[in-house]
Amino acid sequence: MKKQIFKGVGTAIVTPMKEDFSIHYSVFEDLLDMQIAGGADAILVAGTTGESATLTDEEHIELIRHAVRHVKGRIPVIAGAGSNNTAHAVYLSKECEKAGADALLHVTPYYNKTSQQGLFLHFTECAKSTKLPIILYNIPSRTGVNICPATYKRLSETENIVAVKEASGNFSQIAKIASLCKEDLTIYSGNDDQITSSLALGGKGVISVLSNLIPNETHAICTSYFEGNHEESDHLQLKYLELIEALFLDVNPIPLKQAMRAMGYDVGPCRLPLCNMDNTMAEKLYAVLEKYNLTEASKHTHSDAW
């Protein structure tokens, strides 16, 4: 059995920006502390939610280095290291390891895409370049390519490929992965609206967007399930479904950053080409935040409707 990187909630943390779009490191430190205090079991830095696509390599590595220094081993720091260029993914893997990351997240190659054999070769090259454990990231809606269960099985035979963030939304596929790979590949949900369903198929947690807002409650969805209280886990999953849906009214992390600003976190804007939601969408988001008593104003004027 391979060692698990974490069990529970890994927060895919935002990268806070100043108004000039430079990284706001002091706010980043505050967010890391908030996540740890809120029960996050791991932190994913420079993932999709962290706007990795618009970070320079220098910013990317410094962000990892900064997180490692600040977290000081309290929870694992997982570094986004994926690329659609295998040589670049290898480079990022080596640099993130030097920066002190505890594990790596590698997304499937996007845009140029590849065959299943190409996926196998790509991830194998990444794995050979580092001693760190690797989480594969399957999100066909963004990349246009899916890791098939048979390919997962081949990849799980590589010692340091230890887990997958499955965001295909295909439960038949998740079940097949669990059946084929068993203890050789830990499954994490990549979708906040499917945490309990993934846990029911043997998943060990979630790599989460939602937990940027409510780490304690997202953590509780997992822990209540692990403790055998499946009814409570299901209740919490459904309780926060509307909030989860609101966070995906536009491309992630646009709604998330707007929600966090409404909650009083100085996370700043997204870098272009991501821009603010239009007013209609934003009003829908803010209405949901009010319903959950999450905005600064609502905390002073409403009681918890739940």
Which CATH number do you get for residue 150? 3.20.20.70
Domain interval for residue 78: 6-228
Q: Kindly name the residue from 3, 18, 111, 137 that is annotated as catalytic.
A: 137
pLDDT for the residue 299: 55
- Between vectors from CA 240 to CA 23 and to CA 104, what angle results, nearest 5°? 40
In a domain, 276, yes or no: no
Q: Residue ranges for the binding site?
A: 49, 207
Residue list, annotated binding site for pyruvate? 49, 207
User: Is residue 82 one of the residues assigned to a domain?
Assistant: yes
Preceding amide of 109 cis, omega within 30: no
Q: Are 232 and 242 in contact (CB under 8 A)?
A: no
User: Is 215 contained in some domain?
Assistant: yes
| 271 located within any domain | no
Residue 57's contacts (CB-CB under 8 Å, 6 or more residues apart) are: 91, 92, 95
Q: How many domains does the chain have?
A: 1
Active site residue 128: no
pLDDT of residue 305: 37
User: Which of these is catalytic: 152, 165, 265, 292?
Assistant: 165
Quote the pLDDT of residue 306. Answer: 34
In-domain check, residue 14: yes
Q: Is 240 a catalytic residue?
A: no
Q: Residue 125 domain-assigned?
A: yes
Residue 301 CA, distance from chain mean position: 32
Q: Which helix (H) or strand (E) holds 23?
A: none
Low-confidence ranges of the chain (pLDDT < 70): 297-306
Question: Is residue 250 within a helix (H) or strand (E), and if so which, with residue range?
Answer: none
Q: Write phi, then psi, for 189 (nearest 5 degrees).
A: -65, 140
CA distance 127 to 133: 8
Measured distance CA(22)–CA(40) in Å, rounded = 26
* 46 touches 53 (CB < 8 A): no
Instruction: Tell whether 256 is covered by a domain.
Output: no
Per-residue confidence (pLDDT) for residue 1, from 0 to 100: 73
Q: How many residues does the chain have?
A: 306
pLDDT at position 2, please?
A: 85
Per-residue confidence (pLDDT) for residue 90, from 0 to 100: 98
Strands (E), 193-302: 205-208
Residue 17 lies in a domain: yes
Q: What is the pLDDT of residue 296?
A: 75
